[in-house]
Structure 1
Amino acid sequence: MVTILLLTVLLAFLARWRVSRLFYYPDHVSYGTPADLGLKYEEVTFPSRDGTRLTGWFVPAVGPAHGTVIHFHGNAQNMSAHLGFVDWLPAAGFNLFVFDYRGYGKSAGRPDRCGLYEDSLAAIDYVRGRKDLDRNRLVVLGQSLGGAQAIVAVGGGDRSGIRGVAVESAFFSYREIVRDKIGEIPLLSLLKTPLARLLTDDDLSPAAAVGKIAPIPILLIYGTADPVIPYAHGTRLFAMAREPKQFWTIDGGDHTEAFAETDSPHRLRLIAFFREVLGVHKGD
């Protein structure tokens, strides 16, 4: 009996470790640089809150800058693979800062939940500390896992200078997304709630932080056909967010689809949102 109990506990701990690893799919492949797109850029290194060395790219605006966008990318590959979601922002008059969490790309370390939180805080600190930009004109864009990081970092960290937050396809909480994924497995779906509680916790989840972002405006963006993060995660986060807040529904939209195509109307909508929260007037 004792042996069975010990094996059960061991399996539970192994399962928790396995589930936590499923949130991160980093690689170290270079998929290109801003220079490949004709953009000037600076490759930078900066320390995370615990000293882990992180890497990023600072891309200056084409012409005078309205402000600076800090991009939190999704969970797969590294920042070079996600550049296409945001490479159009410098031409729209925004400085752009993209960075890799620990274990992604050239950043040191291995990814874990607490580490990514510290990395996210450090990225905002780094941008805020640059002397060549206005530290009081910052906006944040997070997608998928990066959206969750953005919510938690802004909601739980130093918000000075941040004028707006846009989040696409972020999950409501760690436990809820694990519950949803277990629910997709026929033999385990009836046990999805107790299994989710066993396999993970909700520390540093967006649900606990989204209500703390106000009075900074927040924009949430979700596709109704997202196979990765169910649309309901967005509506639940929106319900917990405080004004000022906006919610965009992308009818038939897939995961992080809003800004993927060059002719997407949502790119212009995002530019308008950033200009509004920064107080940029027509003609500026």
Structure 2
Amino acid sequence: MSNILPNLETFAKGAFATAAGVSTVGAGLLWYGQNYLIYPSAFPPGSRTDVPIPSDFGLPYEDLVLHTPDGVTLRSYLLLQSKVLDNPQTAEIAFDRRETDEQFRASRPLVMMFHGNGGNHGHRIPLAKTFFLRMRCNVLMLSYRGYGKSDGEPSEAGLCTDAQAALDFVKSDPVLQQCPLVLYGQSIGGAVSIDLASRNPDSINALILENTFLSLPRLIPHALPALKHFSFLCHQKWDSASKVPLIPAKTPILMLSGLLDEVVPKEHMRQLWEIVASRGQKRKGNATTSSNNTKPGLERAKFIEFEDGDHNNTCVQPGYWQAVADFVASLAYMDTASSQKS
């Protein structure tokens, strides 16, 4: 892990805030120009053309070209496991010497990475490297439309379509469809993850959410205080608060929150956690009830706060990756326990 952290620190220093940094704009700009504020895909300069590749970090990969139903071409990365990887940082893992690389690959988790709203998916390769080498996960790094070298223009509907196209690809692949599927989303990528899981409740095995928000209209008073009275004009909703209850209580969720987050107030993650923990409760009017006085969603969910984590450096806080690794490793145990109960 010590060899991987320098790369993660480099990533954190170059990470990008969810808000575009604009503090005073007119209500008209909020309505007509909000896509440019919410999806600054050209920031920092060169992000549409200068896209790092996994081999720059010593990782084997495939260029994954996806075509969405509305005719947009996405240029993403796919990192696939082999029994033996030619990298000194690779974690040792037990496997049957008689199995093929494809059989080994099918037995490992597949992490679908949904990044934040600035930069491109190539800037997140150090994170993918940790999943790939330390946890021996397959990794699909999605490049949203209008980001990196993908075609199109970003929007809420568009990013949701892109995520679904990636999931459909996985479900159609004879090897990848066998992998436990984990969604990893940072900031707006957390909203993409929640939306995808809410629409495909039987296809997602687990979610990892970092510094994401209840909804964009509820984020505006903090991110753009001058426009707090015009939040109703925000047509890019990303209403995660209403979608989390659609994710089954049996789906494990790990939530990671930086208490110094200057973009997404910690209260957003805390309120999302309450909703996550309440999954599976029966509703009576405006109240929720549970037969055993516990929150069913708590059985497979965990919430961790990092005292010194801000919006961009939570992923390099002490204990972050150990928590992620423990969570990923626990998925096999959870599935085994469920099988024994049934």
Partner of residue 86, structure 2: none
Identical amino acids, percent of aligned pairs: 27
Higher strand share: 1
Give the residue type in structure 2 aligned to 1:247: F
Q: Identify which range, 146-155 or 18-27, moves more after superposition.
A: 18-27
Give the residue type in structure 2 aligned to 1:268: Q
1:228 maps to 2:284: no
Partner of residue 116, structure 1: 159
- Distance in 1 between residues matched to 2:127 and 2:311, nearest whole Å: 12
- Distance in 2 between residues matched to 1:280 and 1:43, nearest whole Å: 33
Q: Identify which range, 35-44 or 209-218, moves more after superposition.
A: 209-218
Give the residue type in structure 2 aligned to 1:60: L
- Distance in 1 between residues matched to 2:217 and 2:174, nearest whole Å: 40
1:137-156 equivalences under 5 Å are 137-155=180-198
Report the 3-state secondary structure (helix = DSSP H, G, I; strand = E; otherwise coil) of the residue aligned with 2:231: helix
Contact 2:109 2:137 in 1 (8 A): yes
Contact 2:113 2:140 in 1 (8 A): yes
2:272 to 234, 237, 249: 237
- Distance in 2 between residues matched to 1:258 and 1:61, nearest whole Å: 27
Contact 2:49 2:149 in 1 (8 A): no
1:246 maps to 2:297: no
Partner of residue 125, structure 1: 168
Partner of residue 22, structure 1: 37
Give unpaired runs (5+ residues) of structure 2.
1-25, 42-46, 84-103, 280-296, 336-342
Report the 3-state secondary structure (helix = DSSP H, G, I; strand = E; otherwise coil) of the residue aligned with 2:77: strand
How big is each residue's C-alpha offset from its partner over 1:204-232, in whole Å with a ceiling of 9 and x where there is no partner? 41111112112211111110001111111
Q: 1:181 to 1:20 in 2, by over 3 A?
A: same
1:272 maps to 2:326: yes
Report the 3-state secondary structure (helix = DSSP H, G, I; strand = E; otherwise coil) of the residue aligned with 1:89: helix
1:88 to 106, 126, 130: 130
1:38 maps to 2:46: no
Give unpaired runs (5+ residues) of structure 1.
1-10
Contact 1:127 1:135 in 2 (8 A): no
How big is each residue's C-alpha offset from its partner over 1:53-100, in whole Å with a ceiling of 9 and x where there is no partner? 112111012534421100001111110112222211111210011011
Partner of residue 211, structure 1: 245
1:58 to 75, 78, 83: 78
Contact 1:141 1:150 in 2 (8 A): yes
TM-fit CA distance, 1:276: 1.1
Contact 1:71 1:99 in 2 (8 A): yes
Give the residue type in structure 2 aligned to 1:216: T
- Distance in 2 between residues matched to 1:180 and 1:49, nearest whole Å: 36
- Distance in 2 between residues matched to 1:230 and 1:49, nearest whole Å: 35
Give the residue type in structure 2 aligned to 1:166: I
Q: Identify which range, 213-222 or 97-106, moves more after superposition.
A: 213-222
- Distance in 2 between residues matched to 1:220 and 1:12, nearest whole Å: 33
1:172 maps to 2:214: yes
- Distance in 1 between residues matched to 2:170 and 2:313, nearest whole Å: 27
Q: TM (normalized to structure 2)?
A: 0.71
Give the residue type in structure 1 aligned to 2:244: V
Partner of residue 17, structure 2: none
Q: 1:134 to 1:121 in 2, by over 3 A?
A: closer
Give the residue type in structure 2 aligned to 1:169: N
Report the 3-state secondary structure (helix = DSSP H, G, I; strand = E; otherwise coil) of the residue aligned with 1:22: helix
Report the 3-state secondary structure (helix = DSSP H, G, I; strand = E; otherwise coil) of the residue aligned with 1:162: coil
Report the 3-state secondary structure (helix = DSSP H, G, I; strand = E; otherwise coil) of the residue aligned with 1:216: coil
Give the residue type in structure 1 aligned to 2:258: G
Counting matched residue pairs gives: 260
TM-fit CA distance, 1:137: 1.1
TM-fit CA distance, 1:202: 6.5
